Structure 1
Amino acid sequence: MRVGGRVVGMLAVGLGVLTACSTATGQEALPVPTFSESAAAGSGAAPTKIALPDDCTSLLSPDDLGALFARPLGSTALRTIRGVPEPSVGRTERVGCRYSASGPGGGNTLLDINIGRYGDPAAAKRQWQLNTNAERSDGQSRDLSIGAAPAVAVERPTETVLAVVYGVDKLTFVLPASARAPGAPVDRLVDLALRVLPKDGATQPAPPETSAPPAPASAPSTTTAPRSVPPVAAAR
Protein backbone atom coordinates (compact mmCIF):
# COMPACT_ATOMS: atom_id res chain seq x y z
CA MET A 1 0.00 0.00 0.00
CA ARG A 2 1.05 3.55 -0.62
CA VAL A 3 0.51 4.50 3.02
CA GLY A 4 2.75 1.68 4.16
CA GLY A 5 5.38 2.68 1.61
CA ARG A 6 5.33 6.25 2.91
CA VAL A 7 5.81 5.09 6.53
CA VAL A 8 8.71 2.85 5.57
CA GLY A 9 10.31 5.72 3.65
CA MET A 10 10.01 8.12 6.58
CA LEU A 11 11.56 5.56 8.92
CA ALA A 12 14.46 5.08 6.52
CA VAL A 13 15.08 8.85 6.41
CA GLY A 14 14.97 9.03 10.22
CA LEU A 15 17.46 6.21 10.57
CA GLY A 16 19.76 7.94 8.10
CA VAL A 17 19.69 11.14 10.17
CA LEU A 18 20.50 9.26 13.37
CA THR A 19 23.37 7.48 11.64
CA ALA A 20 24.80 10.78 10.40
CA CYS A 21 24.72 12.19 13.96
CA SER A 22 26.67 9.26 15.38
CA THR A 23 30.40 9.27 16.02
CA ALA A 24 32.83 6.62 14.85
CA THR A 25 32.51 4.92 18.24
CA GLY A 26 28.75 4.61 17.89
CA GLN A 27 28.02 7.37 20.47
CA GLU A 28 25.76 10.26 19.64
CA ALA A 29 27.63 13.49 18.85
CA LEU A 30 26.57 16.37 21.12
CA PRO A 31 26.14 19.84 19.62
CA VAL A 32 28.77 22.42 20.59
CA PRO A 33 27.19 25.63 21.93
CA THR A 34 28.31 28.93 20.43
CA PHE A 35 27.88 32.48 21.70
CA SER A 36 27.53 35.47 19.43
CA GLU A 37 29.33 38.75 20.04
CA SER A 38 25.99 40.52 20.37
CA ALA A 39 24.97 38.20 23.20
CA ALA A 40 28.24 38.85 25.04
CA ALA A 41 27.91 42.59 24.53
CA GLY A 42 24.41 42.53 25.96
CA SER A 43 25.48 40.90 29.20
CA GLY A 44 25.56 44.32 30.90
CA ALA A 45 28.91 43.81 32.65
CA ALA A 46 29.87 47.09 34.33
CA PRO A 47 33.49 48.28 34.50
CA THR A 48 35.37 47.48 37.70
CA LYS A 49 35.04 50.20 40.32
CA ILE A 50 38.36 51.79 41.30
CA ALA A 51 37.93 51.30 45.04
CA LEU A 52 37.97 48.47 47.52
CA PRO A 53 34.73 46.50 47.10
CA ASP A 54 31.71 46.97 49.33
CA ASP A 55 31.06 43.23 49.06
CA CYS A 56 33.91 40.71 49.28
CA THR A 57 32.01 38.33 47.01
CA SER A 58 33.69 40.04 44.06
CA LEU A 59 37.08 38.93 45.42
CA LEU A 60 36.17 35.42 46.60
CA SER A 61 32.61 34.12 46.86
CA PRO A 62 31.49 31.99 49.83
CA ASP A 63 30.67 29.07 47.53
CA ASP A 64 34.12 29.25 45.93
CA LEU A 65 35.78 29.11 49.34
CA GLY A 66 33.43 26.30 50.39
CA ALA A 67 34.43 24.29 47.32
CA LEU A 68 38.14 24.83 48.04
CA PHE A 69 37.60 23.71 51.63
CA ALA A 70 35.50 20.68 50.54
CA ARG A 71 32.38 22.00 52.26
CA PRO A 72 28.77 21.33 51.21
CA LEU A 73 27.23 23.90 48.87
CA GLY A 74 25.61 26.77 50.77
CA SER A 75 27.35 26.01 54.08
CA THR A 76 29.73 29.01 53.99
CA ALA A 77 28.72 32.55 55.00
CA LEU A 78 30.47 35.85 54.30
CA ARG A 79 30.47 39.13 56.18
CA THR A 80 32.04 42.26 54.64
CA ILE A 81 33.22 44.96 57.04
CA ARG A 82 34.24 48.42 55.82
CA GLY A 83 37.00 50.04 57.81
CA VAL A 84 38.04 53.66 58.17
CA PRO A 85 40.99 55.60 56.74
CA GLU A 86 44.11 56.00 58.86
CA PRO A 87 45.92 59.14 57.63
CA SER A 88 48.78 58.72 60.10
CA VAL A 89 50.05 55.69 58.14
CA GLY A 90 48.76 56.75 54.72
CA ARG A 91 45.83 54.31 54.64
CA THR A 92 42.90 55.56 52.58
CA GLU A 93 40.56 52.55 52.74
CA ARG A 94 40.13 49.27 54.53
CA VAL A 95 37.85 46.27 54.07
CA GLY A 96 37.58 43.01 56.01
CA CYS A 97 36.15 39.75 54.66
CA ARG A 98 35.13 37.10 57.21
CA TYR A 99 34.15 33.67 55.91
CA SER A 100 32.51 31.37 58.42
CA ALA A 101 30.66 28.07 58.60
CA SER A 102 26.89 28.29 58.48
CA GLY A 103 24.07 25.85 59.14
CA PRO A 104 23.81 23.27 61.93
CA GLY A 105 26.92 23.24 64.06
CA GLY A 106 28.35 26.19 62.13
CA GLY A 107 29.60 29.57 63.19
CA ASN A 108 33.36 29.05 63.42
CA THR A 109 35.61 31.27 61.32
CA LEU A 110 37.07 29.65 58.20
CA LEU A 111 39.12 32.54 56.79
CA ASP A 112 39.75 36.25 57.32
CA ILE A 113 40.98 38.54 54.53
CA ASN A 114 41.90 42.09 55.50
CA ILE A 115 42.85 44.63 52.84
CA GLY A 116 44.25 48.08 53.45
CA ARG A 117 44.68 50.57 50.62
CA TYR A 118 47.35 53.27 50.84
CA GLY A 119 48.12 56.51 49.08
CA ASP A 120 51.09 55.04 47.21
CA PRO A 121 53.05 51.75 46.98
CA ALA A 122 55.78 53.05 49.30
CA ALA A 123 53.28 53.64 52.12
CA ALA A 124 51.75 50.19 51.60
CA LYS A 125 55.15 48.50 51.69
CA ARG A 126 56.24 50.46 54.75
CA GLN A 127 53.16 49.36 56.72
CA TRP A 128 53.49 45.79 55.44
CA GLN A 129 57.08 45.69 56.69
CA LEU A 130 56.04 47.05 60.08
CA ASN A 131 53.26 44.49 60.46
CA THR A 132 55.27 41.49 59.27
CA ASN A 133 58.09 42.33 61.70
CA ALA A 134 55.50 42.18 64.47
CA GLU A 135 53.99 38.95 63.14
CA ARG A 136 57.39 37.24 62.98
CA SER A 137 57.97 37.71 66.70
CA ASP A 138 55.84 34.76 67.82
CA GLY A 139 55.90 32.15 65.09
CA GLN A 140 57.82 30.44 62.31
CA SER A 141 58.08 32.70 59.27
CA ARG A 142 58.69 32.18 55.56
CA ASP A 143 59.60 34.83 53.01
CA LEU A 144 57.72 34.30 49.75
CA SER A 145 57.38 35.95 46.36
CA ILE A 146 53.99 35.68 44.69
CA GLY A 147 54.95 36.98 41.28
CA ALA A 148 56.44 40.41 42.02
CA ALA A 149 54.42 40.70 45.24
CA PRO A 150 56.51 40.18 48.40
CA ALA A 151 54.83 38.06 51.07
CA VAL A 152 55.54 36.64 54.50
CA ALA A 153 53.85 33.54 55.93
CA VAL A 154 53.79 33.01 59.70
CA GLU A 155 52.72 29.69 61.19
CA ARG A 156 51.43 29.37 64.74
CA PRO A 157 49.67 26.51 66.53
CA THR A 158 46.34 28.34 66.37
CA GLU A 159 46.53 30.02 62.93
CA THR A 160 48.57 30.66 59.80
CA VAL A 161 48.96 34.19 58.45
CA LEU A 162 49.99 35.30 54.96
CA ALA A 163 50.76 39.03 54.57
CA VAL A 164 51.19 40.36 51.01
CA VAL A 165 51.97 43.81 49.64
CA TYR A 166 50.63 44.31 46.12
CA GLY A 167 50.69 47.72 44.47
CA VAL A 168 48.99 50.18 46.83
CA ASP A 169 47.33 47.40 48.86
CA LYS A 170 48.40 45.37 51.87
CA LEU A 171 46.51 42.09 52.15
CA THR A 172 46.47 39.74 55.13
CA PHE A 173 45.02 36.23 54.93
CA VAL A 174 44.37 34.49 58.27
CA LEU A 175 43.57 30.77 58.32
CA PRO A 176 42.57 29.42 61.76
CA ALA A 177 43.69 25.90 62.60
CA SER A 178 40.08 25.14 63.53
CA ALA A 179 39.03 25.67 59.90
CA ARG A 180 40.52 22.26 59.06
CA ALA A 181 41.24 23.33 55.47
CA PRO A 182 42.66 20.54 53.29
CA GLY A 183 46.35 20.68 52.44
CA ALA A 184 49.28 22.47 54.05
CA PRO A 185 48.11 25.82 55.53
CA VAL A 186 50.73 27.97 53.76
CA ASP A 187 50.03 26.28 50.42
CA ARG A 188 46.31 26.84 50.90
CA LEU A 189 46.82 30.55 51.63
CA VAL A 190 49.12 31.01 48.64
CA ASP A 191 46.46 29.41 46.45
CA LEU A 192 43.85 31.80 47.84
CA ALA A 193 46.15 34.78 47.30
CA LEU A 194 46.67 33.77 43.66
CA ARG A 195 42.88 33.88 43.21
CA VAL A 196 42.33 37.17 45.04
CA LEU A 197 45.30 39.32 43.92
CA PRO A 198 44.31 39.71 40.24
CA LYS A 199 40.78 40.76 41.25
CA ASP A 200 42.15 43.16 43.86
CA GLY A 201 44.61 44.62 41.34
CA ALA A 202 41.74 45.42 38.96
CA THR A 203 40.27 47.77 41.61
CA GLN A 204 43.50 49.74 42.13
CA PRO A 205 43.86 53.24 40.68
CA ALA A 206 46.97 52.25 38.72
CA PRO A 207 48.22 48.84 37.57
CA PRO A 208 50.25 47.05 40.26
CA GLU A 209 53.82 45.97 39.62
CA THR A 210 52.60 42.72 38.07
CA SER A 211 49.36 41.41 36.62
CA ALA A 212 48.01 37.98 37.55
CA PRO A 213 50.91 36.70 39.70
CA PRO A 214 52.28 33.19 39.07
CA ALA A 215 52.88 30.68 41.82
CA PRO A 216 56.25 30.80 43.59
CA ALA A 217 58.97 29.06 41.56
CA SER A 218 60.32 27.15 44.54
CA ALA A 219 59.40 26.54 48.15
CA PRO A 220 61.27 28.98 50.41
CA SER A 221 63.05 27.89 53.53
CA THR A 222 61.46 28.20 56.94
CA THR A 223 63.10 30.43 59.49
CA THR A 224 62.31 31.01 63.11
CA ALA A 225 62.15 34.70 63.89
CA PRO A 226 64.32 35.90 66.77
CA ARG A 227 62.32 36.40 69.94
CA SER A 228 64.19 39.63 70.68
CA VAL A 229 62.18 41.54 68.07
CA PRO A 230 59.63 43.61 70.04
CA PRO A 231 56.04 43.18 68.83
CA VAL A 232 54.54 46.27 67.26
CA ALA A 233 50.84 46.92 67.62
CA ALA A 234 49.55 47.24 64.09
CA ALA A 235 46.16 46.42 62.67
CA ARG A 236 45.92 43.68 60.10
Structure 2
Amino acid sequence: MRALLVGALALAIGGCGTSGAESTAVPTFPSSDGAGPATAAADDGRVIPADCGRILGAPDLEAVMGLPLGSVAVRTTIGVPQPAVGRTERVSCRYTRAGDGGGRPLLDVNATAYLDEAAAYAQWQVNVRAESGDRRDVPLGSAPGVLFEKRGQAMLMVAHSTSNLTLVLPDQPLPGGKSRADALVDLALRVLPAVAVTPSSTAPPQQAPQPGREPQVGASG
Protein backbone atom coordinates (compact mmCIF):
# COMPACT_ATOMS: atom_id res chain seq x y z
CA MET A 1 0.00 0.00 0.00
CA ARG A 2 2.91 2.39 0.68
CA ALA A 3 4.01 1.95 -2.94
CA LEU A 4 0.53 3.00 -4.14
CA LEU A 5 0.44 6.03 -1.88
CA VAL A 6 3.98 7.14 -2.75
CA GLY A 7 3.09 6.76 -6.43
CA ALA A 8 0.26 9.24 -5.91
CA LEU A 9 2.52 11.91 -4.39
CA ALA A 10 3.45 13.59 -7.67
CA LEU A 11 -0.19 13.73 -8.82
CA ALA A 12 -1.41 14.93 -5.45
CA ILE A 13 1.07 17.78 -5.29
CA GLY A 14 0.46 18.69 -8.91
CA GLY A 15 -3.30 18.77 -8.32
CA CYS A 16 -2.96 20.64 -5.81
CA GLY A 17 -9.15 24.91 9.33
CA THR A 18 -9.52 23.18 12.44
CA SER A 19 -11.97 22.25 15.24
CA GLY A 20 -11.78 22.35 19.03
CA ALA A 21 -10.02 19.54 20.86
CA GLU A 22 -12.25 16.62 21.76
CA SER A 23 -13.58 16.73 25.31
CA THR A 24 -13.79 12.95 25.59
CA ALA A 25 -10.07 12.29 25.25
CA VAL A 26 -8.66 9.94 27.91
CA PRO A 27 -5.14 8.83 28.88
CA THR A 28 -2.27 10.97 27.61
CA PHE A 29 1.13 9.37 27.42
CA PRO A 30 4.35 11.24 28.28
CA SER A 31 6.18 13.12 25.59
CA SER A 32 8.93 11.32 23.73
CA ASP A 33 11.91 12.80 21.88
CA GLY A 34 12.01 9.94 19.39
CA ALA A 35 10.00 7.33 17.58
CA GLY A 36 8.76 4.08 19.08
CA PRO A 37 10.13 0.73 17.90
CA ALA A 38 9.40 0.28 14.22
CA THR A 39 8.90 -3.46 14.66
CA ALA A 40 6.54 -3.29 17.64
CA ALA A 41 3.60 -5.70 17.55
CA ALA A 42 0.05 -4.57 16.83
CA ASP A 43 -1.93 -3.15 19.76
CA ASP A 44 -4.30 -6.05 20.50
CA GLY A 45 -5.96 -5.87 17.12
CA ARG A 46 -6.15 -2.05 16.97
CA VAL A 47 -6.29 -0.32 13.60
CA ILE A 48 -4.70 2.90 14.94
CA PRO A 49 -1.48 2.34 16.95
CA ALA A 50 -1.70 3.57 20.54
CA ASP A 51 1.74 5.19 20.24
CA CYS A 52 2.20 8.24 18.00
CA GLY A 53 5.82 7.26 17.49
CA ARG A 54 4.47 4.42 15.37
CA ILE A 55 2.04 6.66 13.50
CA LEU A 56 4.65 9.25 12.52
CA GLY A 57 8.08 8.99 14.09
CA ALA A 58 9.86 12.18 15.14
CA PRO A 59 12.72 11.50 12.65
CA ASP A 60 10.20 11.48 9.77
CA LEU A 61 8.82 14.86 10.79
CA GLU A 62 12.34 16.22 11.27
CA ALA A 63 13.22 15.08 7.74
CA VAL A 64 10.15 16.71 6.14
CA MET A 65 10.50 19.93 8.13
CA GLY A 66 14.28 20.21 7.82
CA LEU A 67 14.78 20.08 11.60
CA PRO A 68 17.82 18.71 13.48
CA LEU A 69 17.65 15.10 14.64
CA GLY A 70 16.37 14.81 18.21
CA SER A 71 14.66 18.20 18.11
CA VAL A 72 11.03 16.96 18.04
CA ALA A 73 8.95 15.58 20.91
CA VAL A 74 5.61 13.81 20.44
CA ARG A 75 2.64 13.49 22.78
CA THR A 76 -0.03 10.79 22.36
CA THR A 77 -3.65 11.20 23.45
CA ILE A 78 -6.08 8.27 23.23
CA GLY A 79 -9.74 9.10 22.59
CA VAL A 80 -12.80 7.01 23.38
CA PRO A 81 -15.16 5.32 20.89
CA GLN A 82 -18.15 7.27 19.59
CA PRO A 83 -20.83 4.68 18.69
CA ALA A 84 -23.25 7.30 17.36
CA VAL A 85 -21.04 7.81 14.28
CA GLY A 86 -19.52 4.32 14.21
CA ARG A 87 -16.13 5.43 15.50
CA THR A 88 -14.16 2.69 17.27
CA GLU A 89 -10.76 4.33 17.82
CA ARG A 90 -9.20 7.77 17.98
CA VAL A 91 -5.58 8.77 18.54
CA SER A 92 -4.33 12.37 18.53
CA CYS A 93 -0.65 13.25 18.18
CA ARG A 94 0.97 16.58 18.96
CA TYR A 95 4.51 17.23 17.75
CA THR A 96 6.45 20.09 19.38
CA ARG A 97 10.03 21.24 19.76
CA ALA A 98 11.77 19.05 22.32
CA GLY A 99 12.06 20.77 25.68
CA ASP A 100 9.55 23.55 25.02
CA GLY A 101 7.07 22.20 27.59
CA GLY A 102 4.33 21.41 25.07
CA GLY A 103 4.16 24.85 23.50
CA ARG A 104 3.09 25.79 19.98
CA PRO A 105 2.82 22.60 17.91
CA LEU A 106 4.87 21.84 14.83
CA LEU A 107 2.14 19.45 13.67
CA ASP A 108 -1.12 17.95 14.94
CA VAL A 109 -2.32 14.56 13.67
CA ASN A 110 -5.72 13.03 14.35
CA ALA A 111 -6.36 9.42 13.24
CA THR A 112 -9.71 7.67 13.66
CA ALA A 113 -11.07 4.22 12.83
CA TYR A 114 -14.68 3.21 12.14
CA LEU A 115 -16.82 0.11 11.99
CA ASP A 116 -16.80 0.11 8.20
CA GLU A 117 -15.88 2.15 5.14
CA ALA A 118 -19.35 3.69 4.87
CA ALA A 119 -19.20 5.16 8.37
CA ALA A 120 -15.66 6.46 7.86
CA TYR A 121 -16.46 8.10 4.52
CA ALA A 122 -19.71 9.65 5.73
CA GLN A 123 -18.00 11.15 8.80
CA TRP A 124 -15.18 12.46 6.63
CA GLN A 125 -17.75 14.21 4.43
CA VAL A 126 -19.41 15.78 7.48
CA ASN A 127 -16.07 17.05 8.82
CA VAL A 128 -15.00 18.41 5.42
CA ARG A 129 -18.28 20.34 5.01
CA ALA A 130 -17.81 21.88 8.45
CA GLU A 131 -14.35 23.33 7.70
CA SER A 132 -13.48 26.74 6.30
CA GLY A 133 -10.66 28.27 4.28
CA ASP A 134 -9.46 27.99 0.72
CA ARG A 135 -10.41 24.45 -0.31
CA ARG A 136 -8.65 22.17 -2.79
CA ASP A 137 -9.21 18.49 -3.59
CA VAL A 138 -5.97 16.54 -3.07
CA PRO A 139 -6.61 12.82 -3.63
CA LEU A 140 -3.87 10.43 -2.58
CA GLY A 141 -4.31 7.54 -5.00
CA SER A 142 -7.78 6.10 -4.33
CA ALA A 143 -8.03 7.97 -1.01
CA PRO A 144 -10.06 11.20 -1.25
CA GLY A 145 -8.40 14.17 0.40
CA VAL A 146 -9.20 17.84 0.85
CA LEU A 147 -6.74 20.59 1.68
CA PHE A 148 -7.85 23.72 3.54
CA GLU A 149 -5.54 26.72 3.70
CA LYS A 150 -6.09 29.86 5.67
CA ARG A 151 -4.12 32.41 7.60
CA GLY A 152 -1.96 30.73 10.23
CA GLN A 153 -2.35 27.09 9.20
CA ALA A 154 -3.16 24.47 6.59
CA MET A 155 -5.14 21.24 7.08
CA LEU A 156 -5.32 18.03 5.06
CA MET A 157 -8.26 15.66 5.64
CA VAL A 158 -8.06 12.16 4.10
CA ALA A 159 -10.48 9.22 4.07
CA HIS A 160 -9.00 5.77 3.46
CA SER A 161 -10.78 2.46 3.95
CA THR A 162 -12.20 2.39 7.52
CA SER A 163 -9.95 5.22 8.76
CA ASN A 164 -9.90 9.01 8.58
CA LEU A 165 -6.82 11.18 8.94
CA THR A 166 -6.47 14.89 9.67
CA LEU A 167 -3.15 16.74 9.70
CA VAL A 168 -2.87 20.36 10.83
CA LEU A 169 0.28 22.30 9.97
CA PRO A 170 0.72 25.74 11.59
CA ASP A 171 2.59 28.35 9.57
CA GLN A 172 6.36 27.96 10.00
CA PRO A 173 9.50 28.01 7.86
CA LEU A 174 9.76 25.04 5.49
CA PRO A 175 12.94 23.86 3.78
CA GLY A 176 13.75 24.29 0.10
CA GLY A 177 10.79 26.47 -0.74
CA LYS A 178 8.41 23.63 0.12
CA SER A 179 4.76 24.69 0.30
CA ARG A 180 2.37 23.80 3.10
CA ALA A 181 0.50 21.52 0.69
CA ASP A 182 3.72 19.72 -0.29
CA ALA A 183 4.61 19.12 3.34
CA LEU A 184 1.15 17.86 4.29
CA VAL A 185 0.95 15.44 1.36
CA ASP A 186 4.43 14.10 2.17
CA LEU A 187 3.47 13.61 5.81
CA ALA A 188 0.11 12.00 4.97
CA LEU A 189 1.79 9.46 2.69
CA ARG A 190 4.04 8.49 5.61
CA VAL A 191 1.15 8.20 8.07
CA LEU A 192 -1.53 6.40 6.03
CA PRO A 193 0.12 2.96 5.94
CA ALA A 194 0.23 2.97 9.75
CA VAL A 195 -3.41 3.91 10.36
CA ALA A 196 -5.46 2.30 7.60
CA VAL A 197 -6.38 -1.26 6.70
CA THR A 198 -6.32 -2.42 3.08
CA PRO A 199 -9.51 -1.14 1.42
CA SER A 200 -11.97 -3.69 0.08
CA SER A 201 -12.77 -1.48 -2.90
CA THR A 202 -11.40 1.65 -4.51
CA ALA A 203 -14.72 3.48 -4.73
CA PRO A 204 -15.78 5.36 -1.59
CA PRO A 205 -19.17 4.23 -0.24
CA GLN A 206 -22.04 6.66 -0.36
CA GLN A 207 -24.21 5.61 2.60
CA ALA A 208 -23.77 5.64 6.37
CA PRO A 209 -26.13 5.97 9.34
CA GLN A 210 -26.71 9.46 10.77
CA PRO A 211 -23.20 10.90 11.12
CA GLY A 212 -22.59 14.02 13.18
CA ARG A 213 -19.66 16.35 13.07
CA GLU A 214 -16.65 15.01 14.90
CA PRO A 215 -14.19 17.42 16.56
CA GLN A 216 -10.74 17.43 15.02
CA VAL A 217 -7.33 18.40 16.31
CA GLY A 218 -5.74 21.83 16.44
CA ALA A 219 -6.77 25.34 17.23
CA SER A 220 -10.22 25.04 15.64
CA GLY A 221 -8.89 18.31 13.29
What is the TM-score normalised by the length of structure 1?
0.65
Q: Is the 8 A contact 2:117 2:161 kept in 1?
A: yes
Q: Does structure 1 residue 88 correspond to structure 2 residue 84? A: yes
Mark the structure with the bigger radius of gyration: 1
Q: Is the 8 A contact 1:117 1:168 kept in 2?
A: yes
Matches within 5 A, 1:205-224: 207-209=198-200
Residue of structure 1 in register with 2:49 after alignment: 53
> What one-letter code is carried by the residue in structure 1 that aligns with 2:193?
P
SS in 2 for 1:162: strand
What is the 5 A alignment of 1:64-103?
Answer: 64-103=60-99
Matched, 1:169 2:149: no
Give me the whole-angstrom Cα distance separating, in 2, the residues matched to 1:200 and 1:106.
24
Per-residue CA shift, 1:144-175, capped at 9, x if unaligned? Answer: 21010000000011110000001100100000
Q: In structure 1, how many angstroms separate the alpha carbons of the residues matched to 2:174 and 2:215?
A: 25
Is residue 160 of structure 1 aligned with residue 140 of structure 2?
no
Number of residue-to-residue matches in the alignment: 165
How far 1:103 sits from its partner (Å)? 3.5
| 2:174 is equivalent to residue 181 of structure 1 | yes
Q: TM-score, normalised by structure 2?
A: 0.69
- For structure 1, the residue ranges without an aligned partner over 5 or more in a row are 1-44, 212-231
Contact 2:42 2:49 in 1 (8 A): no
Deviation at 1:111, TM superposition (A): 0.4
Distance 2:189 2:73 in 1: 21
4+ residue runs of structure 1 moved beyond 6 angstroms?
none
**Relative CO higher for 1 or 2, CA cutoff 8 Å, sep ≥ 6?**
2
Give, in angstroms, the shift of residue 61 of structure 1.
0.8
Counterpart amino acid of 1:154?
Answer: F
| 1:235 counterpart residue number | 215
2: CA distance between counterparts of 1:46 and 1:130?
Answer: 34
Give the Cα separation in 1 of the matches to 2:40 and 2:111.
23
RMSD, aligned CA: 2.2
Q: 2:112 aligns with which of 103, 116, 140?
A: 116
Structure 1 CA distance for aligned equivalents of residues 55 and 154 of structure 2: 20
Q: For the residues of structure 2 that align with 1:94 and 1:126, how far apart are their CA atoms?
A: 16
Task: State percent identity of aligned pairs.
Answer: 46
